[in-house]
A = this chain, B = another copy of it.
């Protein structure tokens, strides 16, 4: 019998684990114990213990010493939390004057307390937006989520701001180099200049200006910020 059929309510702790595992699994491979522990700022044994309970509840699959992956039920729960989080953030920014960078902590607390009905009312009041203030897509009540179109750094026009979302290569050398100059997922960047004839791109990252060759820039997938809105 699955947890859903047993009609169980998830504790805030469990919800946080599912969220963390969902995020860590985006990359494809299973989330490891230490990844989860670091993400949630907990000890590894705490994670081991919780993982066992979550597996018993049918929310994830655990291969000991290997890692965990969410079951469809676990993923549903994680997407529900993602929806809550992003709607709350959007509401607080849109209606209560929060700034996009100050809103995360508040949403982190509220997402465990609001009812589904309130989330739906907030979403309706906002016109059922598809994206939050950070540009991230908001899952629907059914768990469906808009695809985000990532733009290669090499295609961004000069002057534009964006957020690095993914490095489209598995070459360790390149990944290491990109990390070294700060072009990691989540990093905010601004294109300073594009040089013609497939030349390099000059980009500002964390205050520093970096020059990135055309080929490498093509593998740095970015999410464009306001003004070139993905919801268009």
| With A96-B121, A96-B122, A97-B121 as contacts: A113 and B110 at CB distance below 8 Å | yes
5 residue pairs of the A-B complex, CB under 8 angstroms, read A95-B125, A96-B118, A98-B121, A106-B114, A110-B113
A115 to B112, CA, bound (A): 14
The reply to whether A115 and B109 contact each other, CB–CB distance below 8 Å, is: yes
Interface residues on A, range: 10 to 19
The verdict on A60 contacting chain B, using a C-beta distance below 8 Å, is no
- One complex includes copies of this chain to the number of 2
The verdict on A92 contacting chain B, using a C-beta distance below 8 Å, is yes
The reply to whether B115 and A113 contact each other, CB–CB distance below 8 Å, is: no
Contacts of A98 in B (CB 8 A): 121
The reply to whether B122 and A115 contact each other, CB–CB distance below 8 Å, is: no
Residue in chain B with minimal CB distance to A111: B113
A92 to B118, CA, bound (A): 9
A113 to B88, CA, bound (A): 13
A117 to B106, CA, bound (A): 9
Chain B proximity mask over A95-134: 1 for CB below 8 Å, otherwise 0: 1111000000110011011110110011001000000000
Q: Which residues of A contact B (CB under 8 A)?
A: 92, 95-98, 105-106, 109-110, 112-115, 117-118, 121-122, 125
With both chains docked as a complex, state the minimum distance between the C-beta of A116 and any C-beta of chain B, in angstroms: 11
Residue in chain B with minimal CB distance to A91: B96
Contacts of A122 in B (CB 8 A): 96
Contacts of A114 in B (CB 8 A): 106, 109-110
| Contacts beyond the supplied A95-B125, A96-B118, A98-B121: 17 A-B pairs with Cβ under 8 Å | A92-B118, A95-B95, A96-B121, A96-B122, A96-B125, A97-B121, A105-B115, A106-B114, A106-B115, A106-B117, A106-B118, A109-B113, A109-B114, A110-B110, A110-B113, A110-B114, A113-B113
Please list the 3 inter-chain residue pairs (A to B) with the smallest Cβ-Cβ separation, ordered nearest first: A113-B113, A96-B121, A109-B113
Contacts of A92 in B (CB 8 A): 118
Contacts of A118 in B (CB 8 A): 92, 96, 106
Contacts of A125 in B (CB 8 A): 95-96
A109 to B92, CA, bound (A): 18
